[in-house]
Every structure is written in C-alpha cells, then in structure tokens.
Amino acid sequence: MNDTGEPITLTVHGAIREIAAGEWDACAGGNNPTVSHVFLNALEESGSATARSGWAPQHLAFRDRAGRLLGAVPMYLKSHSYGEYVFDWGWADAYERAGGRYYPKLLAAVPFTPVPGPRLLVAPAAPAATKAHLIAGLVELARQRKLSSVHVNFPEEEDFGRLAEAGFLQRVGQQFHWTNQGYRDFDDYLAALNHRKRKAVKKERREALAGGQIEIDLLTGSALNEKAWDAFYRLYLGTSDRKWGQAYLTRRFFSMIGERMPDNIVLFMARRGRDYVAGAFNLLGRDTIYGRNWGAHREYRFLHFECCYYRAIEFACQHGLQRVEAGAQGPHKLQRGYLPVPTYSAHWIPDPGFRRAVAQFLTRERDMVEQKIEHLAEYSPFRHAEEDGAP
C-alpha cells in the first residue's frame, strides 16, 4: 500500500530491454555508468549475464498510475555465487548442510562489478516513499517464490541504512580508493607522498616501461576499434585462465560497449613495438574512474601498477576527477596512495535460525573489518605534518 492506502504494483522484467532506456537512466542518474541501461543491457545481450550463466535478470520496476517509471532495481536470480565479490559460500554450505536450499537467491547488484553505486534507483520527481516500496518489493518477491535470501551488494551508504531499517542484515567490506586532493598533475600528487614512497613510485614507473621498450597507449572514444578489443580480450582471457579459470565477460560485450558508450571507456594498453602485451580496462563516470579488468600474456615487473594505478591517477588529475576506484582486494594499493574505505552489502534472510547465525557472524566480521581499516590507515604513504619540509 502507498501513503493513501492504495495498492502498490511492482513488475518484474526478465530483460532490461523491456524497460525504456530513457526511463531507466532517469532513475539511475548519470554519475555511475555501471548502472546505466546501456551497460546492463550489454551484459545481457552479449550472453555475459543470462540465466544460462547463472544470472537470470529479474529487474524490479515501480510505476505510477500513468505508467511512468518511478523507481527500479537491477536484480538477478542467482543459481550460484560467482562474480559477486561479496562472498557467501560459507552461508550456502551451512544452510544446505542443515537441510535448506540456498539457491536460487535474489541479488540486487551489477554483475561481475564490485563498484559501489546506487541500487535503489529513483526518478528525480518520484515520491519520497519510492525506495521503501522498492525494498518491500524485494522482500515480497522472495517470499512469493520461497527463496532463501535477498542480497543487495555494494549499495551507497544512505541506502545501506534504509535497508537496515527494513530488516536487512548489514555487512561491511573494504576496498582501496584514491582521492584527488586538488592535485594539478601526477607530480603534484607525488609531492604529497612521504619521501620513501615517492622515490619508490618513481622507480616503479621507470622500471615498468622497461627502459623505453614498453609504451602505454590511451584508447577511448573513437580509438576503441575492433583490433584493440581483440588484443585486449586475448590478454583478458589469458589472465582469467591463469588466476580464476573462468572469463565472465564475452568478447561481444566489449564490442557492444565500445560501440554504445565509447566515451565512458578508458583503456590503457601497454605496447612493446607493434604488439600489445598488457592492458587495463576502466569505466569513466562523472567524477570517478573505475578500474575493472586487467589482462597480460605474462608477468611484467611493475607494469600492472603502472597501467592500473598510476595511469588512472594521472588521468584523474588531468580531467579533474575526484576518485579512482580500482576494484576489489589488493592491500598493495595502499602504498601507492589508495586508502582503505568501507563498502557495504545488505541481506534479508527469512529463516529465523539461519538469520540469527548469519547476524552473529556479521557482528564479529564487522568488528574485524573496522579494526582492519583503522590499522591499514596508519600505513598511509602520505606525508605527515612534520615531513612538510622533506625533499
């Protein structure tokens, strides 16, 4: 029911193409490209996020009486927990050993993308209660289908609180993000580091280019041709096979986003002579560059740091961006200026015994993560006040 006691109707869509792109994007806003209609549609059309791959689209839509979209949630029915970056394998194992059925579960997230961003998408002129209706819709859908759980991965902090108020359990994770403190260029950023770290970064950048044998090409917009995508995809597959054994994204996905959202893509490709030997795929938002995928046909000393971290910082300085979010994991990012920040997920579990066990686990885990973030922050590479005179 809404505030006037009238019934609320939400619909579930088995493909994002069933929702008009303009309506969806009005709800998603223009800050974060990972929740844009074109990005999510490319994941589906390319065969990357489909029922066959364990990501059955179940996008939630809330409309007014006139049929206008007021709110939406990017949502999937999951038959496994791959590609989520919020790990619940232990929960699934415990629930199934106790006789329950954990999969399928309902997940509000962006497939294969550990990027914090909006999950409860709301049109600018939507009523204040719209997010509450969307949350109620998540729960009701899970109840109707008798699902084990609903998960909302990487929501923004405000919605994390809203979900908690609605009875979702709170989980805290941690990533490393770089923040632009008004740096004019990379040298300006370097000057903010302590002397030892500044010296180490300069050395790494020199050695990454192998004495001038390796060059870095920046590809974006019209420069993203099929030849470049062929080269990057070969590198992506090689790294996926070595590290994870599975490549989530299809070759067609990259062609589609290269054609449909080229100005939101930043590709740093490392070239030795005429051949590309490594590459870093990034998405560009309004004030943030998001590091997404790395590929290389073998290990090159410091080249990963150069392409994924230093070039992204350089790009952010040049374009006045506020942040670089370089993806999940990676404490090695800390000494390169990426500081620890909390990330969030929220979980609705109807089974009272299972909910109680997960809640106890999350309380302990949150304490550990908060202590870890506080501890890691002590190792910041930036200068302290007493070092301001350091050369």
Task: Determine the Cα–Cα distance for residues 251 and 35; give it in Å rounded to an integer.
Answer: 20
Looking at the chain, the domain(s) classified CATH 3.40.630.30 span 10-173+341-377, 181-321
Whether residue 246 has pLDDT greater than 80: no
In the 3-class helix/strand/coil scheme, how is the chain assigned residue by residue?
Answer: CCCCCCCCCEEEECCHHHCCHHHHHHHHCCCCHHHCHHHHHHHHHCCCCCCCCCEEECEEEEECCCCCEEEEECEEEECCCCCCCCCCHHHHHHHHHCCCCCCCEEEECCCCCCCCCCCCEECCCCCCCHHHHHHHHHHHHHHHCCCCCEEEECCCHHHHHHHHHCCCEEEEEEEEEEECCCCCCHHHHHHCECHHHHHHHHHHHHHHCHHHCEEEEEECHHHCCHHHHHHHHHHHHHHHHHHCCCCCCCHHHHHHHHHHCHHHEEEEEEEECCEEEEEEEEEECCCEEEEEEEEECCCCCCHHHHHHHHHHHHHHHHHCCCEEECCCCCHHHHHHCCEEEEEEEEEECCCHHHHHHHHHHHHHHHHHHHHHHHHHHCCCCECCHHHCCCC
Of 4-13, 59-68, 185-194, 269-278, the range with the lowest mean pLDDT is 4-13
Task: Determine the Cα–Cα distance for residues 95 and 299; give it in Å rounded to an integer.
Answer: 40
Region 291-299: mean pLDDT is 92
Whether residue 5 has pLDDT greater than 90: no
pLDDT of residue 6: 56
Per the listing, tokens 């050993």 go with 97
pLDDT in tens, 268-280: 999 999 999 999 9
pLDDT of residue 243: 58
Please check whether residue 292 is in contact with residue 325, taking contact to mean a CB–CB distance below 8 angstroms.
Answer: no
- With a pLDDT cut of 90, the percent of the chain lying above it is 90
Region 23-51: mean pLDDT is 98
Region 6-24: mean pLDDT is 91
Per the listing, tokens 């919020």 go with 86
Task: Determine the Cα–Cα distance for residues 258 and 46; give it in Å rounded to an integer.
Answer: 13
pLDDT in tens, 328-361: 878 889 999 999 999 999 999 999 999 999 999 9
What confidence category does residue 260 fall into, taking pLDDT thresholds of 50, 70 and 90? very high
Whether residue 291 has pLDDT greater than 80: yes
pLDDT of residue 386: 45
Whether residue 1 has pLDDT greater than 50: no
What confidence category does residue 7 fall into, taking pLDDT thresholds of 50, 70 and 90? low
Pairing of strands 105-108, 69-73: unpaired
DSSP bridge partners of 215: 271
- The whole-model pTM stands at 0.95
pLDDT in tens, 90-149: 999 999 999 999 999 999 999 999 999 999 999 999 999 999 999 999 999 999 999 999
Whether residue 389 has pLDDT greater than 60: no
Whether residue 244 has pLDDT greater than 70: no
Whether residue 57 has pLDDT greater than 60: yes
What is the CATH number that goes with domain 181-321?
Answer: 3.40.630.30
pLDDT in tens, 77-90: 999 999 999 999 99
Q: Please count the residues of the chain.
A: 391
What confidence category does residue 327 fall into, taking pLDDT thresholds of 50, 70 and 90? confident
pLDDT in tens, 141-172: 999 999 999 999 999 999 999 999 999 999 99
Whether residue 241 has pLDDT greater than 70: no
| Third-level CATH fold of 10-173+341-377 | Aminopeptidase (3.40.630)
Whether residue 391 has pLDDT greater than 60: no
Task: Determine the Cα–Cα distance for residues 238 and 296; give it in Å rounded to an integer.
Answer: 7
